[in-house]
Amino acid sequence: MPVTVRFLGTSAALPTSQRGLPGIAIKYDGAIILFDCGEGTQRALMEAGWKLSGIRLICISHLHADHVGGLLGILTTREFQGITRPVTIIGPPGVSDFAGSILKYTYSHIQYPLEIKELQGNGGIGYQDENLAVHWAPLKHRVPTIGFLFVEHDKIGTFNVERAVTLGIPAGPLYGKLKAGEDITLPDGRIVRASTMVGPAIPGKRVAVIWDTKPCPNAYYLSENADLLAMESTFTQAHRDEADASDHCTAAQAAKIARKANAKQLILTHISARYQEPDPLLQEAIPIFETTLIAHDGMEFIVP
């Protein structure tokens, strides 16, 4: 199943003519998972042709205005459009009060099921369904901030049909049992171990979204072996002091995390408005981690 990652807004703090406020969406099996909702997110989804009815989960990293300014629009437009499918929001402590307040004061009566779950502690699984899980862990920013890891469930390994035929296993329910990892006994009394019939599990795709943090152990932890690491790169090393002071990362720091975590692909996003041309960010990252790209609004990346 393809995992399509779309960069809805790629700026930091304030929008520019080229970059909207932060938002990333993953589409998987028709469902959309949003990571943050900067102001303009609903319009960015509309431009993509990604319908709000598809949104199943909204992961909020933290409550700074640039990352949540579009939440009200997403929730209320969904209601206006008569969408009845449920939405879950997961985010840091305070997200429930924030969402509750903006809905209350704008007279917005949401009729679809809306579950809001505040994530407290050292991390874990924030959401899971039949296809995927979203893991989370706290990051290091000025306010409570969370990094996320989208993980597609592992797929069952390849069933060795050829061997099954050779062994004379009748096609049908016994195949199903072996695929489900169950050993079987054939009518003639032979025992067939599932482990000899099914190849190793195919690991699910992993996409980490890490922004608004200084480098920290959980940034590595979430990114480990990620197929894609979407990572903030607010500054270059030339503005390292500013990055340190504001608890943000430079391009070099993001690249080091990608390298150490053995990520396959790094895409830099959350770009400060000062970089009209993002080349300096890329030039800084690539010598450290070669498979680096810079996000732009509307960019789509299909996880290989």
User: Which residues make Cβ contacts (< 8 Å) with residue 272, sequence separation at least 6?
Assistant: 11, 12, 13, 234, 235, 239
Q: Using alpha carbons, select from 23, 33, 60, 19 the residue that is nearest to residue 230.
A: 23
Q: Tell me the residue length of the chain.
A: 304
3-state secondary structure of 223: helix
Name the residue with tokens 């590595």. 220
User: In the complex, what is the shortest distance from the CB of residue 90 to a copy of itself, in angstroms, rounded to a whole number?
Assistant: 16
Interface with a copy of itself includes 98 (CB under 8 A)? yes
By beta-carbon proximity to a copy of itself, the closer residue of 65 and 202 is: 65
Out of 1, 14, 161, 167, the residue judged to bind a copy of itself by CB under 8 A:
14
User: Both tokens of residue 162?
Assistant: 């050829």
54 binds a copy of itself (CB under 8 A): no
Give residues with Cβ within 8 angstroms of 270, minimum separation 6.
10, 11, 12, 22, 211, 212, 232, 233, 234, 248
3-state secondary structure of 220: helix
Whether 29 is catalytic is no
Residue closer to a copy of itself by CB (options 108, 195) is 108
Site string for a copy of itself, 103-122 (x = CB under 8 A): --xxxx--------------
- Residue 250 per-residue DSSP state: B
| From 15-23, 159-167, 173-181, 217-225, span contacting a copy of itself (CB under 8 A) | 15-23
The residue within the footprint of a copy of itself, chosen from 58, 72, 139, 208 (CB under 8 A), is 72
Q: What would the two tokens of residue 2 be?
A: 């393809």
Which is the catalytic residue, given 29, 36, 66, 247?
A: 66
Q: Is 46 in the site for a copy of itself (CB under 8 A)?
A: yes
Binding of a copy of itself by 65 (CB under 8 A): yes
CB nearer a copy of itself, residue 117 or residue 190: 117
Contact range with a copy of itself by CB under 8 A, out of 66-74, 234-242, 257-265, 293-301? 66-74
Residue 182 in tokens: 């169950």
Q: Are 163 and 234 in contact (CB under 8 A)?
A: no
Give contact residues for a copy of itself (rule: CB under 8 A): 13-17, 20-21, 39-40, 42-43, 46-47, 63-66, 68-70, 72-73, 76-77, 80-81, 94, 97-98, 101-102, 105-108, 142-143
Catalytic residues, which ones? 66
